[in-house]
Structure 1
Protein backbone atom coordinates (compact mmCIF):
# COMPACT_ATOMS: atom_id res chain seq x y z
CA UNK A 1 0.00 0.00 0.00
CA UNK A 2 2.86 2.42 0.64
CA UNK A 3 4.09 2.00 -2.95
CA UNK A 4 0.87 3.31 -4.49
CA UNK A 5 1.36 6.96 -3.38
CA UNK A 6 5.00 6.85 -4.56
CA UNK A 7 3.96 5.54 -7.99
CA UNK A 8 1.31 8.28 -8.23
CA UNK A 9 3.85 10.93 -7.27
CA UNK A 10 6.28 9.61 -9.88
CA UNK A 11 3.61 9.68 -12.61
CA UNK A 12 2.60 13.21 -11.61
CA UNK A 13 6.24 14.36 -11.63
CA UNK A 14 6.89 12.93 -15.10
CA UNK A 15 3.59 14.20 -16.51
CA UNK A 16 4.23 17.73 -15.23
CA UNK A 17 7.89 17.90 -16.21
CA UNK A 18 9.17 20.54 -18.59
CA UNK A 19 8.49 20.11 -22.30
CA UNK A 20 11.73 21.84 -23.22
CA UNK A 21 13.00 18.75 -25.02
CA UNK A 22 10.62 18.64 -27.96
CA UNK A 23 10.40 15.66 -30.28
CA UNK A 24 11.72 16.91 -33.60
CA UNK A 25 10.07 15.17 -36.56
CA UNK A 26 10.32 17.58 -39.49
CA UNK A 27 9.41 15.90 -42.80
CA UNK A 28 12.35 16.10 -45.25
CA UNK A 29 11.85 16.48 -49.02
CA UNK A 30 13.76 14.42 -51.58
CA UNK A 31 15.27 15.50 -54.91
CA UNK A 32 15.65 11.80 -55.67
CA UNK A 33 16.14 8.62 -53.63
CA UNK A 34 19.72 9.61 -52.72
CA UNK A 35 19.49 13.37 -52.16
CA UNK A 36 17.52 15.74 -49.92
CA UNK A 37 16.27 19.16 -50.97
CA UNK A 38 18.21 21.92 -49.21
CA UNK A 39 17.29 25.51 -50.00
CA UNK A 40 18.93 27.50 -47.24
CA UNK A 41 22.45 28.35 -46.13
CA UNK A 42 23.10 28.28 -42.38
CA UNK A 43 23.57 31.71 -40.84
CA UNK A 44 25.00 30.11 -37.69
CA UNK A 45 28.64 29.21 -38.36
CA UNK A 46 28.44 26.30 -35.89
CA UNK A 47 25.53 24.54 -37.65
CA UNK A 48 26.67 21.01 -38.47
CA UNK A 49 30.27 21.88 -37.69
CA UNK A 50 29.91 21.48 -33.92
CA UNK A 51 28.62 18.57 -31.90
CA UNK A 52 26.62 21.20 -29.98
CA UNK A 53 24.66 22.14 -33.13
CA UNK A 54 24.35 19.03 -35.33
CA UNK A 55 22.42 18.64 -38.57
CA UNK A 56 19.17 16.78 -37.76
CA UNK A 57 18.22 14.47 -40.64
CA UNK A 58 15.97 11.99 -38.79
CA UNK A 59 15.03 8.62 -40.20
CA UNK A 60 16.05 6.24 -37.45
CA UNK A 61 12.42 5.36 -36.71
CA UNK A 62 11.92 4.34 -40.37
CA UNK A 63 15.26 2.48 -40.51
CA UNK A 64 16.64 5.11 -42.90
CA UNK A 65 18.92 7.06 -40.53
CA UNK A 66 22.25 6.29 -42.26
CA UNK A 67 20.62 6.75 -45.68
CA UNK A 68 19.28 10.14 -44.56
CA UNK A 69 22.77 11.15 -43.45
CA UNK A 70 24.07 10.37 -46.95
CA UNK A 71 21.07 12.09 -48.53
CA UNK A 72 22.03 15.26 -46.67
CA UNK A 73 25.70 15.06 -47.63
CA UNK A 74 24.81 14.29 -51.25
CA UNK A 75 22.97 17.64 -51.41
CA UNK A 76 26.12 19.61 -50.55
CA UNK A 77 28.91 21.03 -52.71
CA UNK A 78 32.11 22.85 -51.97
CA UNK A 79 31.82 26.66 -51.68
CA UNK A 80 32.15 27.11 -55.45
CA UNK A 81 30.07 24.13 -56.53
CA UNK A 82 32.88 21.57 -56.23
CA UNK A 83 31.92 17.92 -55.84
CA UNK A 84 32.43 16.77 -52.27
CA UNK A 85 33.61 13.42 -50.95
CA UNK A 86 32.97 12.11 -47.47
CA UNK A 87 33.37 9.17 -45.16
CA UNK A 88 31.85 8.29 -41.81
CA UNK A 89 34.56 8.47 -39.18
CA UNK A 90 32.37 7.07 -36.40
CA UNK A 91 29.85 7.88 -33.72
CA UNK A 92 30.45 10.35 -30.96
CA UNK A 93 28.89 12.82 -28.66
CA UNK A 94 25.78 11.76 -26.74
CA UNK A 95 22.89 14.23 -27.08
CA UNK A 96 19.45 14.44 -25.52
CA UNK A 97 16.74 13.09 -27.81
CA UNK A 98 13.23 11.89 -27.10
CA UNK A 99 13.60 9.78 -30.25
CA UNK A 100 16.71 8.01 -28.93
CA UNK A 101 17.04 5.20 -26.44
CA UNK A 102 16.37 6.27 -22.84
CA UNK A 103 16.26 9.90 -23.97
CA UNK A 104 19.76 9.90 -25.46
CA UNK A 105 21.24 9.50 -28.95
CA UNK A 106 24.71 9.45 -30.48
CA UNK A 107 25.78 11.71 -33.32
CA UNK A 108 27.62 10.46 -36.40
CA UNK A 109 30.72 12.29 -37.52
CA UNK A 110 31.50 12.56 -41.23
CA UNK A 111 34.78 13.87 -42.64
CA UNK A 112 34.10 15.94 -45.75
CA UNK A 113 36.42 17.39 -48.37
CA UNK A 114 36.25 18.72 -51.92
CA UNK A 115 38.68 19.28 -54.78
CA UNK A 116 41.10 22.09 -53.96
CA UNK A 117 40.38 21.94 -50.23
CA UNK A 118 43.39 22.11 -47.95
CA UNK A 119 41.66 20.30 -45.10
CA UNK A 120 38.90 17.87 -44.20
CA UNK A 121 35.89 19.23 -42.31
CA UNK A 122 33.89 17.36 -39.65
CA UNK A 123 30.12 17.47 -40.01
CA UNK A 124 28.06 16.19 -37.07
CA UNK A 125 24.73 14.55 -37.92
CA UNK A 126 21.82 13.45 -35.74
CA UNK A 127 19.70 10.72 -37.36
CA UNK A 128 17.28 10.56 -34.40
CA UNK A 129 15.76 14.01 -34.73
CA UNK A 130 14.74 15.93 -37.82
CA UNK A 131 14.57 19.67 -38.43
CA UNK A 132 14.78 21.89 -41.55
CA UNK A 133 18.09 21.32 -43.34
CA UNK A 134 20.64 23.96 -44.25
CA UNK A 135 24.06 23.92 -45.85
CA UNK A 136 26.77 24.38 -43.20
CA UNK A 137 29.07 27.42 -43.38
CA UNK A 138 31.70 26.95 -46.10
CA UNK A 139 29.55 24.64 -48.24
CA UNK A 140 27.19 25.14 -51.15
CA UNK A 141 23.99 23.45 -52.27
CA UNK A 142 23.68 21.20 -55.33
CA UNK A 143 21.45 22.65 -58.00
Structure 2
Protein backbone atom coordinates (compact mmCIF):
# COMPACT_ATOMS: atom_id res chain seq x y z
CA UNK A 1 0.00 0.00 0.00
CA UNK A 2 2.87 2.36 0.86
CA UNK A 3 4.39 1.83 -2.62
CA UNK A 4 1.11 2.88 -4.24
CA UNK A 5 0.92 6.01 -2.11
CA UNK A 6 4.49 6.97 -3.07
CA UNK A 7 3.78 6.23 -6.74
CA UNK A 8 0.62 8.33 -6.63
CA UNK A 9 2.42 11.24 -4.92
CA UNK A 10 5.27 11.16 -7.43
CA UNK A 11 2.83 11.02 -10.35
CA UNK A 12 0.90 14.02 -9.02
CA UNK A 13 4.14 15.91 -8.46
CA UNK A 14 5.44 15.20 -11.96
CA UNK A 15 2.13 16.23 -13.52
CA UNK A 16 1.96 19.40 -11.43
CA UNK A 17 5.39 20.48 -12.66
CA UNK A 18 3.87 21.11 -16.09
CA UNK A 19 4.30 19.20 -19.30
CA UNK A 20 6.44 21.88 -20.96
CA UNK A 21 9.13 21.72 -18.30
CA UNK A 22 12.15 19.58 -19.17
CA UNK A 23 13.40 17.15 -16.57
CA UNK A 24 17.12 17.70 -15.98
CA UNK A 25 19.24 14.63 -16.50
CA UNK A 26 22.25 15.71 -14.45
CA UNK A 27 24.45 14.91 -17.44
CA UNK A 28 26.86 17.59 -16.22
CA UNK A 29 28.19 15.02 -13.73
CA UNK A 30 27.99 12.04 -16.11
CA UNK A 31 31.75 11.40 -16.02
CA UNK A 32 31.74 11.18 -12.23
CA UNK A 33 28.85 8.72 -11.68
CA UNK A 34 28.88 5.85 -9.18
CA UNK A 35 31.75 7.18 -7.11
CA UNK A 36 32.13 5.66 -3.65
CA UNK A 37 32.02 8.32 -0.94
CA UNK A 38 34.78 8.44 1.67
CA UNK A 39 34.02 9.26 5.29
CA UNK A 40 36.18 11.68 7.26
CA UNK A 41 34.26 10.55 10.35
CA UNK A 42 30.83 9.00 10.90
CA UNK A 43 29.07 12.36 10.38
CA UNK A 44 31.22 13.95 7.68
CA UNK A 45 32.34 13.10 4.16
CA UNK A 46 35.93 13.71 3.10
CA UNK A 47 35.93 16.46 0.49
CA UNK A 48 39.25 17.60 -0.93
CA UNK A 49 38.28 19.93 -3.74
CA UNK A 50 36.31 23.12 -4.37
CA UNK A 51 34.42 23.12 -7.64
CA UNK A 52 35.32 25.65 -10.31
CA UNK A 53 31.88 25.18 -11.88
CA UNK A 54 29.64 28.00 -10.64
CA UNK A 55 26.55 25.79 -11.05
CA UNK A 56 27.78 22.78 -9.03
CA UNK A 57 25.36 22.16 -6.20
CA UNK A 58 23.72 25.54 -6.71
CA UNK A 59 21.36 24.52 -9.53
CA UNK A 60 19.03 21.54 -9.90
CA UNK A 61 20.70 20.68 -13.21
CA UNK A 62 24.06 20.15 -11.47
CA UNK A 63 23.07 18.80 -8.05
CA UNK A 64 25.52 17.29 -5.58
CA UNK A 65 25.22 13.49 -5.76
CA UNK A 66 25.74 11.94 -2.32
CA UNK A 67 24.04 8.57 -2.91
CA UNK A 68 22.92 6.30 -0.12
CA UNK A 69 19.21 5.86 -0.81
CA UNK A 70 19.54 2.12 -1.50
CA UNK A 71 21.25 1.64 1.85
CA UNK A 72 18.72 3.90 3.58
CA UNK A 73 21.55 6.38 4.23
CA UNK A 74 20.38 9.11 1.81
CA UNK A 75 19.33 11.80 4.33
CA UNK A 76 22.33 11.01 6.51
CA UNK A 77 24.62 11.32 3.47
CA UNK A 78 23.11 14.71 2.71
CA UNK A 79 24.03 15.86 6.23
CA UNK A 80 27.48 14.26 5.94
CA UNK A 81 28.06 16.34 2.84
CA UNK A 82 26.85 19.59 4.39
CA UNK A 83 28.89 18.92 7.55
CA UNK A 84 32.02 18.96 5.36
CA UNK A 85 31.38 22.54 4.21
CA UNK A 86 32.29 25.87 5.76
CA UNK A 87 31.54 29.44 4.71
CA UNK A 88 33.81 31.44 2.38
CA UNK A 89 36.23 32.32 5.19
CA UNK A 90 35.99 29.04 7.09
CA UNK A 91 32.89 30.03 9.09
CA UNK A 92 30.76 27.26 10.57
CA UNK A 93 27.60 26.88 8.53
CA UNK A 94 24.05 26.11 9.56
CA UNK A 95 21.49 24.53 7.28
CA UNK A 96 17.94 23.29 7.08
CA UNK A 97 16.09 21.18 4.57
CA UNK A 98 13.69 23.45 2.71
CA UNK A 99 11.99 20.51 0.99
CA UNK A 100 12.09 18.31 -2.08
CA UNK A 101 11.93 19.68 -5.57
CA UNK A 102 13.00 19.24 -9.11
CA UNK A 103 12.54 15.76 -10.61
CA UNK A 104 15.70 14.50 -12.35
CA UNK A 105 16.39 11.39 -14.38
CA UNK A 106 17.89 8.62 -12.27
CA UNK A 107 18.18 4.87 -12.73
CA UNK A 108 18.10 4.63 -8.94
CA UNK A 109 14.88 6.60 -8.49
CA UNK A 110 11.26 5.58 -8.79
CA UNK A 111 10.27 4.85 -12.39
CA UNK A 112 13.50 6.43 -13.68
CA UNK A 113 13.17 9.70 -11.76
CA UNK A 114 14.35 11.06 -8.43
CA UNK A 115 13.52 14.18 -6.46
CA UNK A 116 16.28 16.47 -5.24
CA UNK A 117 16.41 17.89 -1.74
CA UNK A 118 16.94 21.62 -1.35
CA UNK A 119 18.91 22.80 1.66
CA UNK A 120 19.18 26.43 2.71
CA UNK A 121 22.65 27.20 4.04
CA UNK A 122 23.95 30.23 5.90
CA UNK A 123 26.82 31.30 8.18
CA UNK A 124 27.54 34.18 10.55
CA UNK A 125 27.46 37.57 8.78
CA UNK A 126 26.13 36.05 5.55
CA UNK A 127 23.95 38.46 3.57
CA UNK A 128 21.50 35.73 2.59
CA UNK A 129 21.01 31.97 2.60
CA UNK A 130 22.26 29.83 -0.28
CA UNK A 131 20.32 26.94 -1.81
CA UNK A 132 22.23 23.70 -2.30
CA UNK A 133 20.53 20.95 -4.32
CA UNK A 134 21.37 17.38 -3.30
CA UNK A 135 20.61 14.07 -5.02
CA UNK A 136 20.63 11.13 -2.60
CA UNK A 137 19.81 8.58 -5.31
CA UNK A 138 23.00 8.88 -7.36
CA UNK A 139 26.60 9.08 -6.26
CA UNK A 140 29.24 11.34 -7.79
CA UNK A 141 32.54 12.99 -6.95
CA UNK A 142 31.96 15.40 -4.08
CA UNK A 143 33.28 18.95 -4.16
CA UNK A 144 32.47 22.12 -2.26
CA UNK A 145 30.36 24.57 -4.28
CA UNK A 146 31.87 27.88 -5.40
CA UNK A 147 31.69 30.31 -2.46
CA UNK A 148 32.23 27.62 0.17
CA UNK A 149 35.34 26.13 1.73
CA UNK A 150 36.05 22.71 3.21
CA UNK A 151 35.93 21.97 6.94
CA UNK A 152 39.32 21.14 8.48
Query: Common fold, TM-score beyond 0.5?
Result: yes
1:22-61 map, 5 Å: 24-61=33-70
Question: Could you tell me which of 98, 103, 109 is aligned with 1:94?
Answer: 103
TM-fit CA distance, 1:23: 10
Separation (CA, whole Å) in 2 of partners of 1:72 and 1:99: 19
Kept in 2, the 8 Å contact 1:23–1:98? The answer is no
Kept in 1, the 8 Å contact 2:57–2:63? The answer is yes
2:142 is the alignment partner of 1:136: no
Gaps (5+ residues) in structure 1? 1-19
Separation (CA, whole Å) in 1 of partners of 2:57 and 2:89: 19
Select the structure that is richer in helix: 2
TM-fit CA distance, 1:26: 1.1
Separation (CA, whole Å) in 1 of partners of 2:31 and 2:114: 14
Kept in 2, the 8 Å contact 1:23–1:99? The answer is no
SS of structure 1 residue aligned to 2:97: strand
TM-fit CA distance, 1:25: 2.1
Show structure 1 runs of 4+ deviating over 3 A: 20-24
Separation (CA, whole Å) in 2 of partners of 1:36 and 1:111: 19
Gaps (5+ residues) in structure 2? 1-26
Bigger Rg, structure 1 or 2:
1
Question: Could you tell me which of 66, 74, 97 is aligned with 2:75?
Answer: 66
RMSD: 1.6
SS of structure 1 residue aligned to 2:75: helix
Match of 1:9 in 2: none
SS of structure 2 residue aligned to 1:60: coil
2:119 is the alignment partner of 1:113: no
Number of residue equivalences: 124
2:90 is the alignment partner of 1:81: yes
TM-score w.r.t. length of structure 2 = 0.79
